[in-house]
Chains A and B, each alone.
Chain A
Amino acid sequence: MSDEEHHFESKADAGASKTYPQQAGAIRKNGYIVIKGRPCKVVEVSISKTGKHGHAKCHFVAIDIFNAKKLEDIVPSSHNCDVPHVNRTDYQLIDISEDGFVSLLTDNGNTKDDLRLPTDESLLTQIKDGFAEGKDLVVTVMSAMGEEQICALKDIGPKS
C-alpha cells in the first residue's frame, strides 16, 4: 500500500478540528451530521432528484444529540457534509455536589468537576439513588463540538 493512502487527517491533538467532511451520499441512518452548526444524529435519509434527470439530493432528518431538537437539511449527494467528532468517555463517579455538579475521576487520576447533573428525570434519580446506595457508578459522557453531557450510566457493582 502506498504511503499517502488511507491516512486520516486528524492528529492526536484533537481540539484542532471538531468536524470532518464526508460525502453526503455516504452518510447513513444512525450516523452523525452537523446541521445549522449543531451536532446531530441522523434518523432518516431520503434521496430525491432535481427533475428526473438531475442529480441526487439527500434529505436528512436528524436530532440534535444535546437538546433533542429535530433539524432537517437537503444536500446534493455528491457534496460534502460536516460530520462531528462525537466522543464518549467513561468516568467513575466520585461525588455529587449540592449545587448540581458532579465530580468525576479521569483516567490519569485527576478529577473533572465542570459537569452538571443531567436534566433527564429518570437518569437523574438513578444517579442520585445509586450513589446514595453506595454503588460504584460509571457514567458515560458524550462530547462533541465543545459541548458535553452525561448520556449513560453503568453500575459496576457495589464497592468491594
Chain B
Amino acid sequence: MQGFPGAMPDAGQLQSTLIAIERACSSIQMHMNPAEAEKIIISLRQSTMPYHTCRFILENSKMPNARFQAAGAIGDAAIREWGMLTDEDKKGLILFCLHYTMEHASAANAYVQLKVSAVAAQLVKRGWFDFVEAEKINILLEVKQAILGIHGSDVQFAGINFLESLVSEFSPGTSTAMGLPKDFHDQCHLSMELNYLKEFYCWAQSAAANAVDRIVGGYASASEEKVCSKALHFMFQILNWNFQKSSSALDYSNNKSNLASSGIRHDVVQLRKFERSLVEPGPLWHDALLSSGHTLWLLNFYATLRQKNSSDVLWFDFPLAVSARQLILQLCSLTGTIFPSDNGEMHIKHLIQILSAIIDWVEPPNIVPGTLRSGRSESEMVDGFHALLSMATLTSTMLFDNLLRSLRPFGTIHLLSALTCEVVQAHASKNDDEQTWTSEGLDILLEIWTVLLGRTGNEKKLSAESIASASNLFNTVVESHLKAAAESAFEDDSDADYFHVSVSKRDETLYAYALIARASIETTATFLTKLFTERFALLSQHNERWDPTQTLEELYWLLLITGHVLTDPGEGETVLVPEAIQDGFAGVSDELQHPVVVLSWSIINFARQSLDPEMRKMYFSPRLMEAIIWFLARWVDTYLMPIDATKGHLGTSGHDEEQQQDSQPSKRFLLSFAGQNQGQIILDIIVRISTSTLTSYPGENELQAFTCRKLLVALVRRRHVCLHLVALESWRDLARAFANERSLFSMNSRLQRSLAETLVSAASSYKDLEISNQYVRDLMGPMTAHLVDISNRNDLKAVAQHADAMYMVSCLLERLRGASRATQPRTQKSIFEMGYAVMSALLTLLELYKNQSTVVYLILKFAVDFVEGELAFLNAKETSILVNFCLRLLQIYSSNNIGKISLSLSTSLQSEAQAEKYKDLRALLQLLTNICSKDLVDFSSDSNEVGSTDIAEVIYVGLHIVTPLISLELLKYPKLSCDYFALVSHLLEVYPEKVAQLNKESFAHIIRTLDFGFQHQDADIVDKCLRAVNALASYQYKEKTAGKEGLGANAMSSEESNGEFQESILRYFLRLLLQLLLFHDFRMELAGSAADALLPLLLCEQDMYQRLVQEFLDKQSNPAIKTRLASAFSALTSTNQLSSSLDRPNRFKFRKNLQIFLTETSGITSII
C-alpha cells in the first residue's frame, strides 16, 4: 500500500517479531510469566514507526490475540507520532484499517475487527481538523457504499460497526482522551453533529429498510437479520447523542401560552432515573425522523414481527426485537424544536401514534403478569412502561390522561392504575420469589406516578375518573401491603427483610404511594383512619392469650404510610402542609370533622397509650415505638403550630388566582387544630412520650436514636415552638433528669451527646439573654463540676483506669461535646464558661488517660467542637486562654505519642490501633483548621486590641507539634491527607512569611510531605500541593526582587542524607514539576494550577530551568522529536508577550502557553 509510514523491515525481522508477539500472547492467555509477555507487547506498542510490522502481523498472524495487539499498537503509535506523519501516511493508515475490517468482515473473532475499526475511528478523529473536507468525504463515501449493501451483508455489518466506533469516539463520554484538551473534543462533537450525524442515520435507516422487507417476507438470511438489528442499534446510539445545537435554537417564551393549552411540556430537561435521556435533535432532523413516516414504518415493522413470532416466548429478547424496541423508546422521548410550533399538534399526534403501538405490550393489565409467570420475558412490558414514563415526562398530567382516549373508552391514567394494581399485588405476594420483574416494573410505574403527581398547580389537575382510579389503586396498595406485613410479622428483623431493601429505597416507594393517596385525599384520609382505628380497637379488646404481633406489624406499616401521606420529608427546608391536603376538603365545615384532623388525633391518642406502663409492656414494642417517634417527628414539623398560622395565609408557590379562596375554612382548620392551645397539650404529650422512650426502653439504641436525633430535634427546631416547650413542666423534668439523675447515664454515650445538644439548643428561645445562659448553666453545671471533681480526686491515679470511671468520664465528655455543638450567639457566654471550667481538668485527664485511646479521642473532639463553636465570638483575652489550652493539649498529646510503637498479637487489633491514631490526628488537624478560621471570621467586638494572639504564630507552633506525628504511612488515609494538605496549602498561601521562621526539621518535614503529595493519586491533593508550591515560590520570588532574604537558609536544606534534596528546595520542585509534566500521564484538569506553580519557580531559577531544558533535549535521540520539543519549550516561555511578573494577566498568559505546550508534547515524551 502506498503511503505507509516508516521504513520497511526485512522479511526475517518481520517474521521474528510476529513469532515473539504470538508467543507473548499465548503465554498471557495461559498465565505463564505474564509480566515478561506484557513487556514484549508494550515494547511493540512503544517502538517507533511499527506500522509495517503491525500490518504484517495483522495480515499474517493466525492468532487473533496477536492481531488484536497489533491493531492496538498501530493506534498507540500513530497517536503518539501524529506530528511526524505526513498527511499521506495518516490517510494510508486509516484506509488500511478500514479496508482490513471490510475484507475480513466475515472472519471469526469479531473482536479483532472491532478493535481495528476502533483504531480507524480514533485516527479519523485525531485528524478531523487536519484533513481537508474532500478527504474526509472520500473516506466516508467508501463506508456509505459498504453500508448500503453493495458488497454484501457482511461488509454492510463492518461498515455500520465502523460508524458506531466513530460516533462513540466523537461523543464526549466515550471518547479517548488522546492527550488533547477538552476544547478539541468539543469542536469534534459539534462538527460531527452539524455535518454528519443525520447522514449516518439515514444510511443506517436505508440499510435497515432493505433488510426489513426481506425479514418480513420471511426470506432473510441470518446475517441480514444481524445487519438489521445492528443498524437499528446504531440508530438508537445516534439518538442517544448529546445534541448541543438544538436547545438554543428557539426561544420558548413566545409560545408559553401554547404550552398551557396544548399540554406539551417544554421545560423538562431529562428523564429522571433509569439512565435514559430525552432526545432533542432540533429542527434539522424533522424530515428524517418525523415527516418521512419513519416512526410509523418502525412501529409497523415491530408489530408485524411480533405478530409473526407471538408464540415464541424467547423472541422478545432477540437482538432484533430489543434494538427495535429501544429505538421506539428513543423516538418516544423526542422533544424540543424538532416539532414545529403548531401548538403541540404534531407532537401529540406522534405520541398517540406510538402509544397505539405500545399499548399492545402492556394490555390487558391482568393478562400481562400472567403470561410472564408462564415464562415469557418481561422485557417488552418493561419497555412499555419506559415509553409511558417518557410520555408522562413530556406531557401535562391532563394531556397524558387524554392521549389514550382516542383509542380506548378510558384515559391513560386509568390504564396506569390498573397496571400498577397488578404489579403491586404480584410484588407483595411473596410466592413469586424469583421474579425480579415485579420490583423493576413497580419502580418504573411509581416513577411515572411521581412524575405525574409531583407537579405543582395546574399541570397536575386530574379528571374525576383519574381520581377514582388513584383512590382504587391506593386501596389495593394498602391492602396488599397490610397482608404482606401481617404475613411477615413473625420473621426475624434482619437485613434479609424483603420489604425494606434499604430505608431510602423504602421511603422512595412510600413517597410515590403517598402521592397517589394525596390525589384522592378526601377518600384516602378517611380510609386510613378507618384502618387505623380498627386495629387500635383490636388491641383494646385484648385478652391475655391473644398474640398481637400481626396487628402490631400492620400498625407499623400504617404509621409509615400515614406519615408519608400527611407530611413531606423536607430535609432541611421549612416544611409546609402538602398542597393537595391544603386544597382538598372543600366541603368540611367543622374542625373536628376534618379527616386529616381526625386521623392525626387518632394517632396521637394511640401514641399516648404508650405512657401507660401496662399498655407499654403489652403492645408498644420497640419497633412500633420507632414508627410512632418517626411519625411524630414528621408531624411536628408540619402541623404543630405552623409558622403561618398567625397570619392565616400560606405562602405557596405563587399561583395567585387560587389564593383568592384562601379563606377556605378547611385550610384554616389544618393550620389551627394544633395551634397555640391544643398545640401545647400535644407538645406535652410528645415530650412525655420521648422521656419514656429514653428511660423505659433500656438498651434500645435505635429507638432512642430516633428520639434524640429526630423527634427532640424537631421540637427545638422552631423558636416559637421552643418557647412553649421550655415552659412545660415535662420538659423541665427531662432537663432535670439529664442534669442530676443517674438514669440517663446508661444510655449510649453518643446519644447522650445528641440529647445534650438538643437540650442546650432550647435555651435560645428565651427572650432574656441572662435567662438563656442561666438555663445552660443549670443544665451543664453539674457535668463540669463532676468532671472537675474526678480530676481532683486524690486516689485518681488508682481509680481512673477502672472501667466505670472511664465510662463516666466518656459520658461527661460526650455531653460537653454536645453542648459545645449547640453553641449559639445567645448562649456563647455560658458555654465558654463551661469549657473554661474544665480546661485544666481535661489536661489532667489527657495525661492520665494517655493509654486509653477512646478517652483521648473524646477530649480532642471536644476541643475541636468547642473551638469551632466559640472562637468567632471571643475577645483577645479569652482567645489567648483558649489558644493556650489548645497548645497545651497538642503538646501533651504529642509528647505521649511521638515515637510510640504499639504492637499486638492480633492483626485486627493492630489495625484498630492504627485507625485510632488516624482519627486522633484528623481531630488535631481539624482543631488547627478551626483555629485558623479566627482570622477569617471574627465577631468579637475588640479584634484590634493590643496584645491579641497572633493566630498564624499559634498555627505554626501547632504544626511544629503535629507534623512529626504525621507519617507518610498515615497520609495514605484519604481523608487525613486531604485535611492535611488543605491545611498546609492554606497556611503557605496565607502566611508564607512564617515559613522562614520554622525550624529546619519541621520545614523539611513539610516539604517532604509535599513531595509525597505530588505522587498522590487524588487530583485534589496534587492540586493542593501545586498551590502550596506556587505560594512558596511566589513568596520567594517577591522577596528576592525586593532584595530580601526570603526563605533564607531553609531554602537550602541540602543536608538530607538520602540525597533527595541535594539542591535548593525550589530547584528540586522545578525538576519534579517538569518531570511530572513531561513524563507522567499528566491530568489536563491540573494544568491551570501546574502553570501557576511553574511560573514563579521558573522565574526564581532561570538558570536551572535552562539547564534542565537542555538536559531533557539532550536525552532525545530522535532528531524530529528533539526539534519539536525544543520549539515547544521555547514557545512556552516566549510567546504571548510573557513578562517576568506574577500579576494576574501574566499568570493567565502562562496558563495558556502551558496548555499549548502540553497538547504539543503529550504523547511524545511519555514513553521516553
Per-residue contact bits, chain A 120-160, to B (CB 8 Å; 1 contact, 0 not): 10110010000000000000100000000001111110000
Per-residue contact bits, chain B 841-885, to A (CB 8 Å; 1 contact, 0 not): 000000000011110000000000000000000000000000000
Task: Give which listed residue, B623, B749, B912, contacts A43 with CB less than 8 A.
Answer: B912
Inter-chain contact A22/B803, CB cutoff 8 Å: yes
- Interface residue? B799 (CB, 8 A): yes
- Interface residue? A36 (CB, 8 A): no
Per-residue contact bits, chain B 480-505, to A (CB 8 Å; 1 contact, 0 not): 00000000111111100000000000
- Interface residue? B808 (CB, 8 A): yes
**Which chain B positions have C-beta within 8 A of A152?**
851, 900-903
Q: How many Å lie between the Cα of A154 and that of B903 in the bound state?
A: 11
Min CB gap A66→B, angstroms: 8
Inter-chain contact B903/A120, CB cutoff 8 Å: yes
Chain B residue nearest to A153 in the complex (CB): B901
**Which chain B positions have C-beta within 8 A of A119?**
905
Count of chain B residues near A, Cβ 8 A? 58
Inter-chain contact B912/A49, CB cutoff 8 Å: no
- Interface residue? B630 (CB, 8 A): no
Inter-chain contact A63/B701, CB cutoff 8 Å: no
Chain A residue nearest to B494 in the complex (CB): A48
Q: How many Å lie between the Cα of A141 and that of B382 in the bound state?
A: 66
Inter-chain contact B698/A23, CB cutoff 8 Å: yes
**Which chain A positions have C-beta within 8 A of B488?**
52
Task: Give which listed residue, B553, B746, B899, contacts A155 with CB less than 8 A.
Answer: B899
Chain B residue nearest to A149 in the complex (CB): B905
**CB < 8 Å A-B pair total:** 177
Min CB gap A80→B, angstroms: 9
- Interface residue? B767 (CB, 8 A): no
Q: How many Å lie between the Cα of A118 and that of B902 in the bound state?
A: 12
Inter-chain contact B699/A23, CB cutoff 8 Å: yes
Per-residue contact bits, chain A 48-61, to B (CB 8 Å; 1 contact, 0 not): 11111111101000
Task: Give which listed residue, B804, B805, B899, B904, contacts A68 with CB less than 8 A.
Answer: B904
Inter-chain contact B912/A41, CB cutoff 8 Å: yes
**Which chain A positions have C-beta within 8 A of B748?**
25-26, 28
The answer to whether A28 and B749 touch (CB under 8 A), given A41-B909, A52-B489, A123-B901, is yes
Inter-chain contact A12/B798, CB cutoff 8 Å: yes
A window 60-80: CB within 8 A of B: 63, 65-68, 76-79
Q: How many Å lie between the Cα of A122 and that of B493 in the bound state?
A: 45
- Interface residue? A105 (CB, 8 A): no
Inter-chain contact B698/A68, CB cutoff 8 Å: no
Inter-chain contact B799/A12, CB cutoff 8 Å: yes
Min CB gap B658→A, angstroms: 44
Q: How many Å lie between the Cα of A46 and that of B279 in the bound state?
A: 48
Inter-chain contact A1/B786, CB cutoff 8 Å: yes
**Which chain A positions have C-beta within 8 A of B553?**
52-53
Inter-chain contact B747/A26, CB cutoff 8 Å: yes
The answer to whether A28 and B750 touch (CB under 8 A), given A1-B786, A8-B808, A52-B491, is yes
Q: How many Å lie between the Cα of A16 and that of B1114 in the bound state?
A: 80
Inter-chain contact B903/A10, CB cutoff 8 Å: no
Q: How many Å lie between the Cα of A52 and that of B494 in the bound state?
A: 9
Chain B residue nearest to A88 in the complex (CB): B851
**Which chain A positions have C-beta within 8 A of B785?**
1
Min CB gap A121→B, angstroms: 10
- Interface residue? B358 (CB, 8 A): no
Task: Give which listed residue, B556, B786, B901, B912, contacts A154 with CB less than 8 A.
Answer: B901
Q: How many Å lie between the Cα of A87 and that of B803 in the bound state?
A: 9
**Which chain B positions have C-beta within 8 A of A85?**
801-803
Min CB gap B928→A, angstroms: 24
**Which chain B positions have C-beta within 8 A of A32?**
803
- Interface residue? B100 (CB, 8 A): no
Q: How many Å lie between the Cα of A20 and that of B906 in the bound state?
A: 25
Per-residue contact bits, chain B 623-656, to A (CB 8 Å; 1 contact, 0 not): 1100000000000000000000000000000000
Chain B residue nearest to A4 in the complex (CB): B742
Inter-chain contact A56/B702, CB cutoff 8 Å: yes
Per-residue contact bits, chain A 12-46, to B (CB 8 Å; 1 contact, 0 not): 11100001101111101011100000000101000
Q: How many Å lie between the Cα of A63 and that of B490 in the bound state?
A: 33
Inter-chain contact B801/A12, CB cutoff 8 Å: no
Chain A residue nearest to B902 in the complex (CB): A152
Min CB gap B817→A, angstroms: 15
Min CB gap B796→A, angstroms: 9
- Interface residue? B665 (CB, 8 A): no
Task: Give which listed residue, B490, B782, B851, B852, contacts A51 with CB less than 8 A.
Answer: B490
Q: How many Å lie between the Cα of A55 and that of B807 in the bound state?
A: 24
Chain A residue nearest to B801 in the complex (CB): A87
- Interface residue? A98 (CB, 8 A): no
The answer to whether A2 and B740 touch (CB under 8 A), given A63-B906, A63-B909, A152-B900, is yes
Inter-chain contact B492/A50, CB cutoff 8 Å: yes
- Interface residue? A117 (CB, 8 A): no
- Interface residue? B908 (CB, 8 A): yes
**Which chain B positions have C-beta within 8 A of A114?**
none
- Interface residue? A96 (CB, 8 A): no
- Interface residue? B682 (CB, 8 A): no
Inter-chain contact B899/A65, CB cutoff 8 Å: no
The answer to whether A52 and B623 touch (CB under 8 A), given A5-B742, A25-B700, A85-B803, is yes
A window 81-97: CB within 8 A of B: 83-88, 90
- Interface residue? B605 (CB, 8 A): no
Min CB gap A21→B, angstroms: 9
- Interface residue? B1111 (CB, 8 A): no
Query: Which residue, A6, A24, A52, A68, has most C-beta atoms of chain B within 10 A?
Result: A52
The answer to whether A23 and B746 touch (CB under 8 A), given A48-B493, A68-B906, is yes
Chain B residue nearest to A77 in the complex (CB): B699
Min CB gap B694→A, angstroms: 12
B window 551-587: CB within 8 A of A: 552-553, 556
Inter-chain contact A68/B786, CB cutoff 8 Å: no
Task: Give which listed residue, A2, A52, A140, A156, contacts B490 with CB less than 8 A.
Answer: A52
Inter-chain contact A19/B803, CB cutoff 8 Å: yes
The answer to whether A10 and B909 touch (CB under 8 A), given A26-B748, A55-B700, A120-B903, is no
Per-residue contact bits, chain B 721-758, to A (CB 8 Å; 1 contact, 0 not): 00000000000000000001110001111100000000
**Which chain A positions have C-beta within 8 A of B621?**
52-54
Q: How many Å lie between the Cα of A84 and that of B802 in the bound state?
A: 8
- Interface residue? B549 (CB, 8 A): yes
Inter-chain contact B852/A55, CB cutoff 8 Å: no
Per-residue contact bits, chain B 677-707, to A (CB 8 Å; 1 contact, 0 not): 0000000000000000000011111100000
Chain A residue nearest to B913 in the complex (CB): A152
- Interface residue? B622 (CB, 8 A): yes
Chain B residue nearest to A130 in the complex (CB): B901
Inter-chain contact B749/A26, CB cutoff 8 Å: yes
Min CB gap B430→A, angstroms: 15
Inter-chain contact A10/B802, CB cutoff 8 Å: yes
Min CB gap B214→A, angstroms: 61
Inter-chain contact A151/B902, CB cutoff 8 Å: yes
The answer to whether A20 and B801 touch (CB under 8 A), given A26-B748, A52-B549, A120-B903, is no
- Interface residue? A9 (CB, 8 A): yes
Chain B residue nearest to A83 in the complex (CB): B803
Inter-chain contact B912/A55, CB cutoff 8 Å: no
- Interface residue? B1063 (CB, 8 A): no
Given A25-B747, A53-B552, 17 more A-B residue pairs with CB atoms under 8 Å apart are A2-B740, A8-B805, A20-B802, A20-B804, A25-B699, A26-B747, A43-B909, A48-B492, A48-B494, A51-B493, A56-B700, A56-B701, A63-B908, A63-B909, A84-B803, A120-B904, A154-B900
Q: List 14 A-B contacts (CB under 8 A).
A: A1-B786, A9-B804, A10-B799, A25-B748, A53-B553, A54-B493, A68-B904, A68-B909, A83-B804, A85-B801, A85-B802, A88-B801, A151-B904, A152-B851
Question: When A and B form their complex, which 7 residue pairs have the shortest distance between CB atoms, in order from nearest?
Answer: A77-B699, A25-B699, A68-B906, A88-B851, A53-B621, A78-B699, A12-B795
Residues of B that sit less than 8 Å from A by CB:
488-494, 549, 552-553, 556, 621-624, 697-702, 740-742, 746-750, 782, 785-786, 795, 798-799, 801-805, 807-808, 851-854, 899-906, 908-909, 912, 916
